[in-house]
Amino acid sequence: MTKATVSIIQHSPVYLDKTKSVDKAISLLEEAAKKGSQLAVFGESWLSGYPAWLDYCPEAGLWGHDPVKEIFYQTYQNSVSVDGEEIAIIKNAARDLKINVSIGINEIVNQGSANKSIFNTLLFIDKAGNLANHHRKLMPTYTERIVYGHGDGQGLKSVDTNIGKVSGLICWEHWMPLTRQAMHNSGEDIHLAVWPKVHEMHQVASRQYAFEGRCFVLAAGQILRKKDLPSILDTTGIPDDPEYLILNGGSTIIRPNGFYLTEPLWDQEAVITAEIDLSENIKESMTLDVTGHYQRNDVFDFKVNSDRNT
């Protein structure tokens, strides 16, 4: 199969409500499946909400600030474990709809565990409903370190699917050269680049990744409005409009030559769907192949520790 239909789900979750977010996710997957999509991807920490308040609420970084502790508690309570009922529902939907699904989650090991950390995690569920990859973000970005623990290398791989090999990274992992090389070495055909929003520099990173890896990139952003932010935090620095977009999308599908297949979509919710032709990966590799004739294994020695750290 050289052609496939793929979708980016550029929607808001039901912020800090994992049950309603799962319900919304299932409805959106049904919409993607009706469009003939064989793969659907949600943005970073979509289930159940990227902690955008870290960058927009001035007291977010204050030591010992009770409202921030409360929001962390709410985030923890609405985080999910990979063996929990929320992921089981999504796995069943993937199986029933026969669609591959990638979704960013706020992950906890399990409720009641001694480990009370939250991980910024990207899951890949294949069309048979199996959890095929479980990747934790290696390095939380800047303010995210207040909320998230460090990930590991276990998920740095591609998954064999009915539409080729699919890989994924989270946000600023796309600026980590060795992480990119590890993913390229896994033989990816389609790469899922998940972000809070795909602003200009994230567009640059996503397009560069496609050009370097000679693969299609689905750069997935999402929507988040001011009214979705926790009301106990100070949002006076944000325009006084409950519909103001904190996260405004920018999702796009990028070809292996680094150019857009679909232009970035801003300021609206949508299920972005397009057909991709994987023969382009081979055609573009004639000039650059960083795992083949542009790889110098006689000069560089590279290995990845794929052990889980917790």
Report pLDDT digits (tens) over 125-156: 999 999 999 999 999 999 999 999 999 999 99
Element (H, E) at 9: strand 3-10
Fill in the amino acid letter for 139. Answer: M
Q: Domain limits of the chain? A: 3-285
- pLDDT at residue 281 greater than cutoff 80: yes
- 290-295: Cβ within 8 A, 24+ apart: 290/181, 290/184, 290/212, 290/213, 290/214, 291/184, 291/185, 291/187
Which of 44, 86, 173, 284 is an active site residue?
A: 44
- Interval 169-185 mean pLDDT: 97
- pLDDT at residue 309 greater than cutoff 90: no
Comparing 58-67, 68-77, 113-122, 215-224, the range with the smallest average pLDDT is 58-67
Is 215 a catalytic site residue? no
Q: What is the pLDDT of residue 291?
A: 93
- CA 292-298-299 angle, 5° bins: 100
- pLDDT at residue 40 greater than cutoff 90: yes
- The answer as to CATH 3.60.110.10 being correct for domain 3-285 is yes
Comparing 32-46, 89-103, 122-136, 284-298, the range with the smallest average pLDDT is 284-298
Which of 137, 173, 188, 284 is an active site residue?
A: 137
Which of 91, 171, 188, 284 is an active site residue?
A: 171
Q: What is the pLDDT of residue 231?
A: 86
Half-sphere exposure of 257 (CA within 13 A, CB side): 11
Is 303 a catalytic site residue? no
Q: What is the pLDDT of residue 113?
A: 67
Element (H, E) at 164: strand 164-170
Is 137 a catalytic site residue? yes
